[in-house]
């Protein structure tokens, strides 16, 4: 149901009445989930209460949830609420195991089989494959078809991506299926295990045809980019609460902060979630990134990142603070002032502008520095052409180089490598593409006109 018109009014009234309900089981669940005495929002329903109730059915114990909602015995309600929360933790663990297994299988797939992700296992829990299908569809930008296999039969759940019509796809493969149903965004089906390879082939062909062979690209809609970090306050969060309740047709606002610095990162929640400390100028923010590890986020202290997030209040020991609930992050594509100045200086040097002695000194590299950067980048280029966003690439190289002016000198080195025809470099927008050029013998980097110009101006030799 879309959260619009009278639906929003009905849900809003229900949320206001929920803490005062006569259902003993609801009060027990609110207490066990840590929500007793707190204002209940649509976000808490979607991410705290509903998953606990749904977990019972997913884990084959739907009677636990039903009994909780029916009981009038406070002691029994407390026991059932505790059991529901335990089932939800079990569901999370099973989900993580299936995701890891599916990721490994997808990584080993031929690219032609990744237009539609068709996967099955007799080790996968039937009640959880639908959730995993949703995660895979978002992660790989492709419709996912996940199956629990038993006694030669596959029972599958599938999730769409990018508006792809699942029901029409299943209809196209109806002769391979024992049964199917659902709608364009989510569906289920039953299939003989022997027909799965043919289903995989046909679905991939169907998706390629529907998308005209173009791979789907993951994208995230941002409602607003935060230009002034001082605007992020608890008062502003309170104003945003007027948009509640959120849901289909009225999604929770997503904001972006560009060029934030990572000051701290640690695992919390028994190592399942990543807590971040971010800064932008004089402003500092706490962030939480659920179900993400530092390795998956590829983060290091000092990295500059662009973050997409929801705003939320974090209550700890009676104190309320502002917190970012991260939706996604990426290496920042927004240059810092120093980075922008370095790139501008490099462009002036390439254009032959007159530089001060201090500027020329910043641009000069030693034999050792060139060697360090070449050893860093050359092995990856042996594997083929490399396309990356320019700023994250230069930051990685600067980190390998270290020392003063490392960002500027990393950029300068790439220009010299390209001019000396050790590699080809093509820049388009914010991305740069690098590829190796086969060479014979040694190449004199200091014969580059760029470096020769700097050396002549300073009166130095090689």
Going by pLDDT thresholds of 50, 70 and 90, the confidence category of residue 119 is: very high
> Whole-prediction pTM value?
0.75
Decide yes or no: CATH 2.40.50.460 for domain 224-331: yes
The per-residue pLDDT for 335 is: 85
Asked if 257 contacts 280 with a C-beta cutoff of 8 angstroms, the reply is yes
* 337-458 CATH fold: Arc Repressor Mutant, subunit A (1.10.10)
Q: 1-93 adopts what CATH topology?
A: inorganic pyrophosphatase (n-terminal core) (3.90.1640)
What average pLDDT does this structure show over 265-288? 90
Q: What is the pLDDT of residue 456?
A: 64
Rounded to the nearest 10°, the torsion over CA 89, 94, 98, 101 is: 100
* Radius of gyration for the alpha carbons in the chain, expressed in angstroms and rounded: 28
Distance CA(116)–CA(404), nearest Å, equals: 48
Average pLDDT over residues 360-387: 90
Which residues partner with 325 through β-bridges? 288, 310
CB 150 within 8 A of CB 124: no
Instruction: Assign a CATH topology to domain 109-219.
Output: Diaminopimelate Epimerase; Chain A, domain 1 (3.10.310)
Whole-Å CA distances, 450 to 356, 358, 401, 438: 15, 16, 20, 22
Question: CATH 2.40.50.460 spans which residues of the chain?
Answer: 224-331
Task: Give the pairing of strands 255-268 and 177-182.
Answer: unpaired
* CB-based contact 401:408 (threshold 8 Å): no
pLDDT tens across 22-74, in order? 999 999 999 999 888 888 999 999 989 999 999 999 999 999 999 999 999 99
Closest C-alpha to 253, from 312, 331, 315:
312
Contact 157, 129 (CB under 8 A): yes
The tokens of 322 are what? Answer: 């502002």
Where in the chain is CATH 1.10.10? Answer: 337-458
User: How far is the C-alpha of 408 from the C-alpha of 99, rounded, in Å?
Assistant: 41
Question: Which among 462, 433, 460, 438 has a CA at the least distance from the CA of 448?
Answer: 462
The closest alpha carbon to 200, from 122, 117, 137, belongs to 117
**pLDDT number for residue 286:** 95
CA 233 to chain centre: 25
Sole residue written with tokens 């049964």: 179
Give the mean pLDDT of 348-362. Answer: 90
Residue 462 — pLDDT band, cuts 50, 70, 90? very low
Residues of CATH 3.10.310.30 domain(s) within the chain?
109-219
- Residue 452 has a pLDDT of 83
Query: Torsions phi, psi of 155, nearest 5?
Result: -110, 115
Beta strands 431-436; 423-428: pairing state: antiparallel
Listed in order, the ranges of the chain carrying CATH 3.90.1640.30 are 1-93
413-460 tens-digit pLDDT = 999 999 999 999 998 888 899 999 988 888 889 889 988 878 765 544
Q: Work out whether the CA dihedral 457, 460, 461, 462 comes out positive or negative.
A: negative
pLDDT of residue 460: 46
The 10s digit of each residue's pLDDT in 166-211 is: 999 999 999 999 999 999 999 999 999 999 999 999 999 999 998 8
Q: Is the Cβ–Cβ distance between 350 and 450 less than 8 Å?
A: yes
Burial (CB < 10 A; 0-12, 13-18, 19+), residue 347, is exposed
3-state secondary structure of 23: coil
């Amino acid at each position: 149901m879309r959260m619009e018109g009278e639906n929003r009014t009905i849900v809003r009234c229900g949320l206001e009445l929920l803490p005062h309900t006569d259902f003993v089981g609801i009060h027990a669940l609110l207490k066990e989930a840590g929500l007793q005495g707190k204002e209940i929002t649509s976000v808490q329903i979607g991410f705290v209460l509903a998953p606990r109730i749904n977990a019972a059915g997913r884990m084959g114990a739907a009677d636990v949830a039903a009994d909780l909602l029916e009981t009038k015995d406070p002691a029994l309600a407390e026991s059932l609420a505790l059991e529901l929360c335990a089932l939800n933790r079990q569901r999370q663990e099973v989900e993580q195991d299936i995701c890891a297994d599916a990721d490994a299988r997808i990584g080993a797939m031929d690219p032609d089989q990744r237009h539609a992700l068709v996967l099955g296992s007799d080790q996968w829990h039937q009640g959880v494959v639908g959730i995993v299908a949703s995660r895979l569809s978002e992660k790989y930008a492709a419709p996912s078809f996940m199956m629990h296999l038993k006694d030669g039969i596959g029972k599958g759940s599938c999730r769409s991506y990018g508006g792809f019509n699942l029901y029409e796809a299943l209809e196209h493969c109806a002769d391979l299926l024992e049964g199917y149903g659902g709608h364009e965004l989510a569906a289920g089906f039953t299939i003989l295990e022997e027909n799965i390879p043919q289903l995989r082939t046909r679905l991939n062909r169907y998706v390629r045809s529907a998308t005209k062979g173009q791979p789907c690209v993951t994208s995230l809609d941002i409602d607003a980019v935060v230009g002034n970090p001082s605007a992020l306050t608890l008062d502003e969060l309170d104003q945003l609460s007027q948009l509640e309740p959120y849901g289909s047709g009225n999604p929770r606002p997503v904001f972006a902060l560009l060029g934030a610095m990572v000051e701290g990162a640690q695992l919390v929640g028994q190592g399942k979630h990543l807590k971040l400390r971010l800064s932008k100028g004089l402003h500092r923010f706490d962030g939480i990134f659920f179900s993400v590890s530092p390795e998956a986020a590829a983060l290091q202290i000092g990295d500059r990142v662009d973050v997409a997030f929801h705003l939320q209040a974090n209550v700890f020991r009676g104190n309320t603070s502002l917190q970012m609930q991260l939706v996604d992050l990426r290496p920042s594509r927004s240059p810092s002032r120093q980075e922008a100045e370095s790139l501008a200086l490099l462009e002036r040097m390439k254009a032959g502008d007159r530089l001060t002695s201090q500027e020329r000194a910043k641009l000069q590299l030693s034999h050792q520095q060139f060697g360090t950067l070449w050893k860093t980048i050359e092995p990856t280029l042996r594997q083929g052409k490399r396309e990356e966003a320019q700023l994250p690439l230069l930051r990685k190289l600067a980190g390998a180089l270290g020392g003063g002016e490392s960002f500027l000198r990393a950029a300068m080195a790439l220009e010299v490598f390209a001019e000396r025809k050790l590699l080809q470099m093509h820049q388009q927008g914010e991305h740069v593409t690098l590829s190796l050029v086969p060479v014979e013998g040694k190449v004199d980097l200091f014969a580059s006109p760029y470096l020769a110009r700097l050396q002549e101006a300073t009166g130095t030799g090689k």
